[in-house]
Amino acid sequence: MLRLEGVCAGYSVLPVLNDVSLNVEAGQFVAIVGPNGAGKTTLFKTISGIVRPSAGAIHFEGVDLLGIPAAARPHLGIAHVPEGRQVFPSLSVMENLEMGAFTEAGRRAWKENIGRIFTLLPVLAERRHQFAGTLSGGEQQMLAIGRGLASAPKLLMLDEPSMGLAPAIADFIFEKLIEIRTQTRLTIVLVEQRVAEALESADHGYVLEAGRVVLEGNKETLRADDRVRQAYLGM
Ligand code: ATP
């Protein structure tokens, strides 16, 4: 569904991604893990079109994404839930969700989609009239995920949904992701620093270090890898 081949990208003079290739199959849950500054967010920004690669190719469902402007990519079915949640604080929960339904597919599916989002994330239904800025961090993260789902995507890209959350709340978010995956069969790509939880939730993983993919495999392979165990799982 999503294929990156030899992607190099960065910011003006700073190269970040170096020859990154990855492949995400429809229905797969893929985790991309790695330390601070490895380029995980830059990778997502390159897929969503905020950062333009200097080399390489990106295809989504066979379409050359580099020929598609960033603003048009959500309409292909790519939802990017950004790092730091970035909900609209002075809009209500419901208004935030409506903003998420800006794609043609999101508008068309709105009625059934909002019911599904409220079933998956009931706290959003309870708080639908509350200003998003007054939600707790965990609730804001659920809203950011709900807003992504409101676009009726085929691919949901989640940038560090556990960031800044207490461990119990982060665990709850990971459980929700597994539930969303099971209920919707959506393709999910998750970027995370919480490696143990991310590899627990996903089927397949990539380890990104200093802008390069240094390891990839299914979750059992990665969790059994000595380097992953030492560097990321504290074993
Ligand atoms: P983290 O988990 O800390 O968010 P990350 O793996 O997502 O890290 P990126 O945010 O992709 O890493 O950053 C990779 C490198 O690019 C870092 O050195 C960062 O300082 C740099 N960088 C990120 N955004 C910009 C920008 N807009 N302009 C210049 N450099 C940037």
CA of 16 to the centre of ligand 1 (A): 8
Other beta carbons within 10 Å of 62: 7
- Which of 35, 61, 36, 47 has the alpha carbon at shortest distance from 9? 47
Q: Is the pLDDT of residue 12 over 90?
A: no
In the reported structure, the alpha carbon of residue 39 is separated from the centroid of ligand 1 by a whole-number distance in angstroms of 6
- Average pLDDT for residues 80-84, to the nearest whole number? 89
Q: Whose CA is nearest to atom 17 of ligand 1?
A: 37
CA atoms within 13 A of residue 126's CA, in its CB half-sphere? 7
Within 6 A (CB) of ligand 1 lie 11, 14, 16, 34, 36-42, 83, 193
Whose C-alpha lies nearest to ligand 1, atom 31? 11
Ligand 1 atom nearest the C-alpha of 39 is 11
CA of 11 to the centre of ligand 1 (A): 9
Mean pLDDT for 111-118 is 95
Residue range 196-208, pLDDT digits in tens: 889 888 999 999 9
Confidence bin at 227 (pLDDT 50/70/90): confident
pLDDT in tens, 100-111: 999 999 999 999
Residue 81: beta bridge partners? 158
Q: Which two tokens stand for residue 224?
A: 């059994």
Q: What is the pTM of this model?
A: 0.92
In the structure, what pLDDT confidence band is assigned to residue 36 with cuts at 50, 70 and 90? confident
Three-state DSSP class for residue 6: strand
- pLDDT confidence tier of residue 231, bands split at 50, 70 and 90: confident
Q: What is the pLDDT of residue 87?
A: 93
Instruction: Give the pLDDT confidence score for residue 219 in this predicted structure.
Output: 86
Residue type, position 89, single letter: P
Distance CA 7, CA 65 (A): 12
CB 161 within 8 A of CB 135: no
Pairing, β 2-11 against β 78-81: unpaired
